[in-house]
Copies of this chain bind each other. A is one copy, B any other.
Amino acid sequence: MRQAGPVAPERFEVAVTPPYPVRVGPGVLSGLASLTPGGRVALIADENAGARYGDEAADALAADGRQVLRLRVPSGEDAKRIEVWAELLGRLARAGFARDDAVVALGGGVTCDLAGYVGAAYMRGIAVVHVPTTVLAMADAAIGGKTAVNLPEGKNLVGAFWQPRAVLMDVRTLRSLPPRVFMQGTVEVFKHGLLADPALAEAVVSGALAPDADDAALTRWLAASGRVKAAVVAGDAREDGARAHLNLGHTLGHALEAASGHRLTHGDAVAWGLLYAAYLSPRVLDVDDAEEAQALVRRLIRTVAPAPPPAASWDELAPFLGRDKKTRGGRRHWVLMRAPGRPTLQHGVPEDAERAAWEAFLADPVQAERAAAELPAAKGEA
C-alpha cells in the first residue's frame, strides 16, 4: 500500500441528507474503495486524469473485489454534451449496472459535472463518488451536488442536484497541473475566503496556495475552501437561499466568458467579476469601507494574473448578462458584499449603478497593468 506521507488528511462532512464525507490530503486516493458503495463501479475519467491516476484508482477498487468498468471521456468542455452522456449511460446498461452499483468521477470540473449527471440519471440515480484532480474542481464542482451537461443554447442547462456519497481530494494530483491552470482555480478558493474565511482569502492573495506550496499547505487551504462550500450547501442544498452567495463574481464572470467567445477562462472571468462586485457593492449598499474589498480583489488579480477582460462598453456587455438574472421588473439581482464575510443577494439593482460600476471597474489600475503584462505573453504564446 502507498504511504500517505507525513501530512495527515483533513476530514469533514457535508451535512445534507444523507451526509457525506470529504477527505483532503496527499494519498487519499488509496482509500477510494472504502468510500465507494456497489459491486460494479464505472470509473469515468477524462484523458489527462485517466492516464495519470486511472490505474491507481482502478487497482484500489479491484483490490477490494469490485468489478471496474473504465470509461474515458475527452478533456475539455466539449465533453459535456448530451450525446457523450447518453453513450456513457448505454455503456452502464450494457455492462448490466443495477441500482446498487456506483460511478466514480476522476478528473476536473467537466468530468465531475458529466459523470455526476450520469450517476444522477442512471436508473433514476445511483451512487456517485467524486475524485477531483484540479484546484477548480476541488473548490467548486466536487462539493454540492450540482451536475449538468450543456445544450447548444447554453452551458449547464440540463442536469440535476445529485449529492455524491463521498469526495476525495488527493492533493498530489495537483502537482501535474500547468501553473496557470492551478492559479485560475484559486479564484474560487479566494471567493470562499471572501464569503466566509478571511485567512483563506489572505492565503490566496499572498501566494500561500500556489503550485510550489507543500502538501501541508495544499491540504490546509483546500480543506478550508471545502468547508466554506460545505457549510453553505448544507444550509441550502437546492439553491433557494444562501447558496446563491456562491455566485459572487459569477453573474459578470459568465457574461465576460460569453462576450469573449469563451476565450476568457472561467477562473479568469470570475476574478474580474469579483472586482466588478467590489465596485458595484458600494453603489447599491451601505458598505463599511468601499476600498477594502477593491484592494483585496486587486491583490487577487495581481496574484492570479488573469487575461484582460474583453474591451466592451456596458451596452455591449449587458445582453450577455442573461435574462434569468432579471427580476420581474427588468432589473437584475446581484450577489454583493457589505464587507468581506458579509455577502448579500440584492434584488432589483438599477442599471445606472451597474453602468457606473463598469466605468469604475475599467478605470481600476490593474486593468492597465494586466493589459501591459499580457502583450508579450500573448505574443510568446502565439
Chain A residues with a Cβ under 8 A of chain B: 39, 82, 86, 89-90, 93-94, 96, 98-99, 120-125, 146-148, 151-154, 156-161, 323-324, 328
Q: Is the CB of B159 within 8 A of A93?
A: no
Docked pose: A93 CA to B86 CA in angstroms: 20
Interface contact B158-A96, CB-CB below 8 Å: no
Q: Is the CB of A323 within 8 A of B98?
A: yes
Number of copies: 2
Chain B residues with Cβ below 8 Å from A124 are: 146-148, 156, 159-161
**How many angstroms between the C-alpha atoms of A157 and B118 in the bound complex?**
11
- Known contacts A82-B82, A323-B96, A324-B99, A90 near B123 by CB under 8 Å: no
Q: How far is the CA of A121 from the CA of B82 in the complex (A)?
A: 12
A157 touches B98 (CB 8 A): no
CB distance from A319 to the nearest CB of B (A): 13
- Tell me the complex Cα distance, A125–B125, Å: 15
Tell me if B154 and A93 are in contact (CB < 8 A): yes
Least CB distance, A166 to chain B, in whole angstroms? 19
Nearest CB on B from A144, distance (A)? 11
7 shortest interchain CB distances as A-B pairs: A93-B153, A98-B324, A124-B159, A121-B158, A82-B86, A93-B151, A93-B157
23 contacts between A and B (CB under 8 A): A39-B328, A82-B82, A82-B86, A89-B151, A89-B157, A90-B151, A90-B152, A90-B153, A93-B153, A93-B157, A96-B323, A98-B323, A98-B324, A121-B160, A122-B157, A122-B158, A123-B157, A123-B324, A124-B146, A124-B147, A124-B160, A124-B161, A160-B160
